[in-house]
Structures are given as structure tokens and as C-alpha cells.
Chains A and B, each alone.
Chain A
Amino acid sequence: MPAQTVGANRKSRGQAPLGACTRSSPRKSRGPALRASTRRRPSGAVGRNVPRKEGREKVTGRALYVDDLTFPGMLHGKTIRSTIPRGEITRIRLDFDRDGFTVADYRDVPGRNTIALIELDQPCLAEREIRHFAEPIVLLAHADREKLIAAESRITIDYRSLDPVFDPELSDLCFKEIDITRGDVARGLAEADVVVEGQYRVGLQEQLYIEPNGVIAVPENGGITVYGSLQCPYYVHRALRVLLDLPEDRVRVVQTETGGGFGGKEEYPSMIAGHAAILALKARRPVKLVYDRVEDMVATTKRHPGVIRHSTGVTRDGRLTAIDIDVLFDGGAYMTLSPVVLSRGVIHATGPYRCDNVRIHGRVVRTHTPPNGAFRGFGAPQTQFAAEVQMERIAEALGMDPVRLRETNAFRPGDTTATGQKLGRDCSAIPVLREAVKRSGFRAKRRAWRGSDRGIGLALFFHGSGFTGGGEVKLASKASLELTESGARILVASTEIGQGTRTMHAQIVADALGIPYDDVEVAVADTARVPDSGPTVASRTCMVVGKILQRCAAEIRQKLGKMSPREYLAAHGPLVVTKEYAGPDGLYWDDETYRGDAYGAYGWGCNVVEVERDPVTFEIRPTRVTTVQEIGKAIHPTLASGQIEGGTAQGLGYALLEEVAMRDGRMANAQLTNYLVPTTRDTPDIDVAILESPYEHGPFGAKGVGEMPIDGPAPAVVNAIRSLGLDVRAIPATPERILEATGAKA
């Protein structure tokens, strides 16, 4: 077992050997004390488990989330929503005493009634047309929450209903269509000894951050300030400028401590911030709008459900000759981020396998359900689920060892992806596969458990770090570093949402500047103070924004020379260095043809999941997960492991438990009582091993880590179920589905 500590190759670049840091099952005590003074080794923050910047506040209850804040004269807001999935509003009656109430509808929107994102198709408040259940129509504010609840029941909205479309196959509007072509699929299929076909289905998934969406809007300085639980302050900033018709400097967005996001606070906060701002401007008082759990689940975005079809040509010895994939995602009623979700979905649709003849056709279409949107993984968990279950079925069809089939086809350094990207030296599909198979004892267990109620399955996966294609160039993100008396202050719009942004950025800056970690401060993500570092999404916060910060620090270090920060400030006055994203030379992307370098770098992962079937209840219980992930460099091994463990648990929920029951376009189980997420009792031991194959353009070699962990659990679970002889091709694999598959077998 490679157990080399992660700190050992801190300065290595390029062709450094794979380092490995392992995180064993929770029983095992781990490593040296983590509170070792950071001051004694001033240049060694990267690769060490320094204390989390806001850790103390979080464990004492002092950290302030949006619902913990109040402002003088503050009102509470409430959103009145549609109760039909499609139609027109014919009449609205408000039958309550308006005293003390502020009431707003679309006519109170000062600017353009839209949520500015990719397409301006989604109104902030419905005018006449209703396109989904829970579409916002009327806003109320009052100082007394009880009065708001009473008023809600005195509002009647009449509709003329129209027939909704819920089946994406029957949709009449395609938001985005993407084709990726490489080689000649017809020729590849003709060369094949065997062609395996399959259709795979994935369901909706709720992000289920434990803190629901919420904001407070404060009218001030001739404009608006919004405090909120959010991932992307500048997304909200832009949306409010358009909605309220305000100049840049009259809109301020401040992130409050955020209780989880997972994509669910990427685009939705623009909506809730808009509502609170409209009320606050009309009332001329601060307005707090915090959803309860039911409203959050009914109204906000979820992971796109989809149907993915594969047709794969393979030779008898297991070489892929053709991959033909059709991806259909259900976007819901408005576009939101659907085109970009589809983009990441189709690019990852082959899984980490080489093939000369590939055709991928993807569509995301409109239906009359609440819009789907960003969720960790962003299309890739859906398509890689299909790819890896398809791979398993190919192995079954050939009677071939599933590991050997994957070894035969997995990407190696220098191989070319479906979009024509040549993979760099850091490509680690084979190392993660071999390590996961070895660590888990995959082959021996598979043999031993044959014919029993225990199953074991694996999945190999990859995940591109940063925005897709030319996205990072278009974003042109900025980051700033300000010299302070004792060190430096980081100024970025990247948000801490649990993943450890502040800590990890401070480590990078500390080492790049050669100062102790404790001397690096991180400013609040406040658009009045920090530059636009782009959204906190797409596994980009470390690799992309961290790299910009590293460049800022390098320049400050050069300017300082031998002077201390204090001496420099005394001699030269304040110093702030701002840098913009500068991609590695030679990255090329064509958005028209979908050819080129889809991502700067990829992380690589392999999961082995062990399960037990309950022969009476048909429940599938995961008993152990082994996950090996190559992420370039673990800046903070505990935080990186935390991403992997948490993403794995969320992925197990996606695989087995989390079912959004849609009835007539409405989530019927919008409660934690019957939308089940993994508890301690549903989450098995997770054995994490991190491999490091540095990416030369990432800070200290780091690539992305946030999303990849959720790509792998679902296919590994389903492949483990398949090893029990059950033909499951859809998730969540609930007892009902297992029962059905058992019936089909008998």
C-alpha cells in the first residue's frame, strides 16, 4: 500500500511520481496531530492539514448564516406560487386587510422582468403565462410572520389550464442540441464482433443542502444590498442589475456563511434575491426571505433526469471499435443552465475510454416541471452512470473480466478523447483502476460472493476541472491579493460553502508568498470589495482561482524582495495586486464543432462498492466503498478527503435512496420524511485513497476535486447489483426496482 505522505512532494512538478495519501476506514487513527504550529514551518502550508479558517466559528455556533441576521425595521417575505403546471392566470384576488403589508407582482419590477443568466426566458414574477408548478406570482412582506401565513390562505388565483408536457420525449422545444463526432461510427460498428445496446435512466436529485435558500435585501445608498446564502455573488449582482435597472455600483451582494450549495445555490439565489429586492425597494425596509424545507424542495432546481442510449461495438478481445450515444435531458420549464449541463454531460458520456469512432448526440428539452439546474457533477454523473453500466454489460456479453475490459480501453497519457483532446502526462485512469482493485480485494471478493446475497461492482470515471471549452477564457476571472501589515488578504468572489475555499486559498497564498498560513486573511465575498473571480462551481475554485492567486502572490513576493510586509507598506504605501485568468498556451476549443481541449485537466477516479441484498425487503445496503481519486495535488488532505467522502455519500443517495416523486408536475415528496438522503445508518465505511499526478498549470499541481466524487458511486452500486444477477439499468435502485428485476430474473 503506497502510504507516502502528501507533503513529501510539495515542490515536485511535471513528471513527479504518483504520490499517494491514504485515508483509511474511520476506525483507524490517522497521522500526527494536526495542530502542529504553522508558525514554525512558515513555507509549508500546502499539503498539510492546517486548521480551517472559519472552523472555530462553525463549531461554536458563532458563524452567522443568513437566517441568523436581523436588520432594524426588517420585514419577512413570502412568495405566492402557481398551483398548476401550465396555463394562464385569469384573476388574482387578495382578500385580507392590507395594513402593514407590502404586496408586489410583476408590475413592481423596476427593470426587466427576467432572471438574467444564459437566456432571458425566465420571468422573476409570472405575468400571465404559467409554465410550471410553484412559479412565483405574488410577493408579500410583513413584520409578523404569522400574519403572512394567514394572508397566504386569503389569496385566490384563478387559471385557465393548458395541457402540460411532462415526458421529455414529447417535448416541442429543445433548449440545446450538441453533436460530437470522431471517426466513423458506421465503420466502427461494422468492424465489431459484438454490438451491445442499452438504455439507461437517471432520476431527479435534490441537492438538499441543510440550510435552505435565503437572502435579506436591504435598500440603501440609492440601490440595494443583498446578503445571502449563495455560491456566485456576481451571478446575483448581474441578475439584480438587469431586474432592477440599477447601475453596477448601486447593487451590492454579500455572501453570508453558507450551509451547503452543491449547485443548488448557483443560479437559484438570483431568483430569491430578486424577490427580496423587489419587496425591499417597495417597502423601503429590509426584507428577509428564507424558504422552509418544503418550499425549497418544491420550487428550486434539481439534477436533470435523463435517458441515455448506448450502442457500442467491441471486438471479441474487448477492444472498443465504436461508441454511439444519445443523451436526452429534461430541462424543466426554463433554460437556466441546461445547455452547459448538457455540454459537460456529453463530453463525459463515453467515460474514460479511448475509441476511434465516436458519435454523441445530446439534447436538453423543455417540459412543464420546475426548471432543473446545477447540481454537483453537472451532467457528468448522469452520462457516466450510463457509460459504466454499459461497460459492465459489455463485459457480461463478452464473458470478460470487467477489470480487464476497462484496462484494455482506459485512457492513457497521449490518448485522444472524443472531442480530439490529447491527454497529458497526468492522465491516471489506469493507476486509479489498479489501486482500487488491489485495495478492495475486488477479484477475490467477486469470486467468493458469487451466488450469495453479497455483490461487488466497480466504476472508472473522470471529471474535467474548470469551465468547459472556452468558458474560462470568456469568464476572464480576476483575483486580488492585498498586502497587510502582517501578511496578505485574499480578495476573491469565490465562496466558502463547506468545501474549504478560504483555507485552501490561504494555503496556496501562504506558500507562494513564503509567509505563515495564519498571516493570510480572507475577505468576505462582497461585490463591493472583491473582484469577479467567476462562479464557485465546476471544480474550478482551487485549480483556476487558486492559480490566479498564486500568480498574485508571486508578484507581491517579487515586489517585497527582502522587505517585510510592514516595511514595504511603510516605504511604498498600500499594495494590491490583481491578476486575470491566463490559460495555458496551446489550449484550443471550437464551440461550433465541439472539437478541441474540453478542459485544462481531468481528475481520475475508481470506485469499488460492496453491497448486500436483503432477501425479504429487497433493499440494497452498501457495506463498503473503496474510492481512489487522482486530483493532481491535495492542497489540504483532510479537506480533499472530505470532498471525496461527502460526494461519495451523496452519490450513494443518488444510486439507492433519493427519488423525487413527480405527480402532475409537482414534487409529491417535498419533505425530509419521504425524500430520503443517506443518514449515518445508510452510509458505509468509505476507504479513500488520493493519488497525485501533478497538473503543471494548477497551483502546486492541483486539479479539481469537488464534483468528481459524485460521478462514481451510482454506476459502481448498480454494477454491484448486477453481480447479483439482477438486470438493473436505472437509478435510484429502490426496493421496488430490485423487486422488479428479481421478478424478471425468475
Chain B
Amino acid sequence: MRFTLNGKNRDVRAAPMKRLLDVLREECGLTGTKEGCGEGECGACTVIVDGQPVNSCLVPFAQVRGSAVTTIEGLRDRHPLQEAFVVEGGAQCGICTPGMILAAVALPRGASLDEIRTGLAGNICRCTGYTAIYRAVERATSAKRRRKR
């Protein structure tokens, strides 16, 4: 089945009802996408499909035919959010971090704190109390603005 993975065309053979999460981790060898609950509650398995953050544990592989999928590996260590998460302490144990960063990537530009809270409400972090994550998102946003100036 063909789809775009992190900007590259891929043709992957896997059972159509296999969870996208497992296809990414097993068939594609991208283990940056994590499983926390397997029922779409924790958001650790968040990936971006056609611009929208989704829980890859709830998506059957067949559903991404022809779609563009972005995983944490697709940010290639170049996204300002990644640096900001390190600096601000947004990553502690790190298991929710890839999903959290991808959910943050999908936030609307210039999101207010309230919008950040809502946008990240599907991603559970048990370590940080979220405060450092908000700081990281805001830092990345302001870094982007600075660069544009």
C-alpha cells in the first residue's frame, strides 16, 4: 500500500487492519511513535496524517492509503519545538514527548495559552504537570517569530 511517510513515497505491505502504530514501529522501523494505552486516551502514539494529529493506535493502516504521515522522525531534529522542549524541561521521562511535540506542531499559529491547553488536551504527560510544555511551545513560537523578523 502506498502512502507518504515523512515526505517520502513508501509502499509497505501490511495487513490493512493492522494499527498504523504497529506498521510504523514494526514494518517501517520508526520506534519514535510510542504506545501508552492502546485506546486513544493518552496520545503517546500521536502522528500527523494530512495535517491533522491522530492517535495512530486507533487508525487501521488501510485508512492512510495515499495520505501523508509525519512521525517524530520526520521533524529531523530541526523543528524549533524540539530544541524548546529540551531547554524548557518539556521532556522528562520522554515517553509522551514525540506525541506531545507532534500535537504541538499541529497547533494553530500564534495559539493562546488556552488554545494550547485545548490542543494538547488529548496528550497525557504524567511527569511535568504540563507547565514546562507550555513554556516550550511558547518559546518555540517566539523563536519562529524572531526568525521571521
Which residues does A use to contact B, with CB under 8 Å? 26-27, 29-30, 33-35, 49, 51-52, 54-65, 67-68, 207-212, 257-262, 292-293, 497-500, 638-639, 641-642, 645-650, 671-673, 677-681, 683, 685-686, 688
The answer on a CB contact under 8 Å between A672 and B132 is no
- How far in angstroms is the closest Cβ of chain B from A639? 6
Main secondary structure of the interface of B (DSSP, over half): loop
Contact string against A for B residues 82-100, beta-carbon threshold 8 Å, 1 for contact and 0 otherwise: 1101111101111111100
CA distance A685 to B129 in the complex (A): 9
Q: How many A-B residue pairs have CB under 8 A?
A: 182
Q: Are B37 and A672 in contact (CB under 8 A)?
A: yes
Indicate whether A259 sits within 8 Å of B89 (C-beta atoms), given known contacts A59-B82, A61-B31, A642-B132: no
Q: Write out the residue numbers on chain A whose beta carbons fall within 8 Å of the beta carbon of B126.
A: 207-210, 260, 262, 646, 650, 677
B residues near A500, Cβ cutoff 8 Å: 92
B interface vs A, CB < 8 Å? Answer: 25, 30-39, 41-42, 44, 71-73, 75, 77, 81-83, 85-89, 91-98, 101, 113, 116-118, 120-132, 134-135, 138-139, 142
Please list 14 pairs of residues, one from A and one from B, whose beta carbons are closer than 8 Å in the complex, sorted by A's number. Answer: A58-B85, A67-B31, A209-B93, A210-B44, A211-B36, A497-B93, A638-B88, A642-B89, A650-B129, A671-B39, A672-B41, A680-B116, A680-B123, A680-B130
Once the chains are docked, how many angstroms separate the CA of A292 from the CA of B36?
8
How far is it, in angstroms, between the C-alpha of A125 and the C-alpha of B32 when the chains are bound?
34
Contact B129 A257 (CB under 8 A): no
Which residues from chain B contact A671 at a C-beta distance below 8 Å?
37, 39, 41
Alpha-carbon distance between A68 and B44 when the two chains are bound, in angstroms: 14
A59 touches B95 (CB 8 A): no
Question: Cβ of B30: which chain A residues have Cβ within 8 Å of it?
Answer: 61
Residue of A nearest to B116 (CB): A680
Is A681 within 8 A of B118, CB to CB?
Answer: yes
Interface contact B131-A686, CB-CB below 8 Å: yes
B117 touches A680 (CB 8 A): yes
With a cutoff of 8 Å between Cβ atoms, the chain B residues found around residue A259 in the complex are 34, 93-96
Per the bound structure, the CA–CA distance linking A673 and B58 in Å amounts to: 14
- A26 CB contacts on chain B under 8 angstroms: 113, 131, 134-135, 138
Query: Of all chain B residues, which has the CB nearest A208?
Result: B126
For A69, the closest partner residue in chain B by CB is: B31
Q: How far in angstroms is the closest Cβ of chain A from B144?
A: 15
A61-B128 in contact (CB<8A): no
Grouping DSSP codes into helix (H, G, I), strand (E, B) and loop, the A interface class, with mixed when no group exceeds half, is: loop
Given contacts A59-B85, A680-B118, 17 further A-B contacts (CB under 8 A): A55-B85, A56-B86, A59-B94, A59-B97, A59-B101, A60-B82, A61-B31, A67-B31, A211-B95, A259-B34, A260-B93, A498-B94, A499-B92, A649-B128, A677-B124, A679-B121, A679-B123
Contact B129 A51 (CB under 8 A): no
Min CB distance, B138 to chain A, in Å? 7
Q: How far is the CA of A671 from the CA of B42 in the complex (A)?
A: 10
Contact status of A29 and B129, CB under 8 A, knowing A51-B87, A638-B88: no
Distance (Å) between the CB of A210 and the closest chain B CB?
4
Cβ-defined contact, A293 with B31, below 8 A: no
Q: Output the nearest chain B residue to A677 by Cβ-Cβ distance.
A: B124
Q: Check A61 against B73 for contact (C-beta < 8 Å).
A: yes
In the bound complex, do residue A257 and residue B39 qualify as a contact, i.e. CB atoms below 8 Å apart? no
Q: With A211-B36, A680-B120 in contact, is A54–B94 under 8 Å at CB?
A: yes
CB-CB under 8 A for A646 and B92, given A51-B87, A293-B39, A683-B129: yes
Q: Which residues of B contact A64 (CB under 8 A)?
A: 31
* Chain A residue at minimum C-beta to C-beta distance from B139: A29
Cβ–Cβ contact B93 & A59, under 8 A: no
Asked if A60 contacts B72 (CB within 8 A), the reply is yes
CB distance from B91 to the nearest CB of A (A): 4
- Closest Cβ of chain B: how far from A558's Cβ, in Å? 34
Chain B contacts of A680 at CB under 8 A? 116-118, 120-121, 123, 130
Chain B residues with Cβ under 8 A from A57's Cβ? 94
Q: A52 contacts B95, CB within 8 Å? A: no
| Chain A nearest CB, measured from B122 CB (Å) | 8
CB-defined contacts of A258 to chain B, threshold 8 Å: 93
Closest CB in chain A relative to B97 CB, distance in Å: 5
CA distance A60 to B76 in the complex (A): 7
Q: Is the CB of A646 within 8 A of B86?
A: no
Which chain B residue shows the least CB distance to A62?
A: B32
Among A30, A211, A257: residue with most chain B CB under 10 A = A211
B39's partner among A647, A672, A683 (CB-CB below 8 A) is: A672
Please indicate the chain B residues that have their CB under 8 angstroms from the CB of A56 in the complex. Answer: 77, 86
Query: Nearest B residue to A57 by beta-carbon distance?
Result: B94
User: Which chain B residues border A499 with CB–CB below 8 Å?
Assistant: 92
The contact of A210 among B36, B86, B134, by CB within 8 Å, is B36
CB distance from A562 to the nearest CB of B (A): 35
* Chain B residues within 8 Å of A642, by CB: 89, 92, 127-128, 132
| Assembly CA distance A592 to B42 (angstroms) | 46
* A29, A60, A210 pick with most chain B CB within 10 angstroms: A210
Contact of B89 among A54, A638, A677 (CB under 8 A): A638
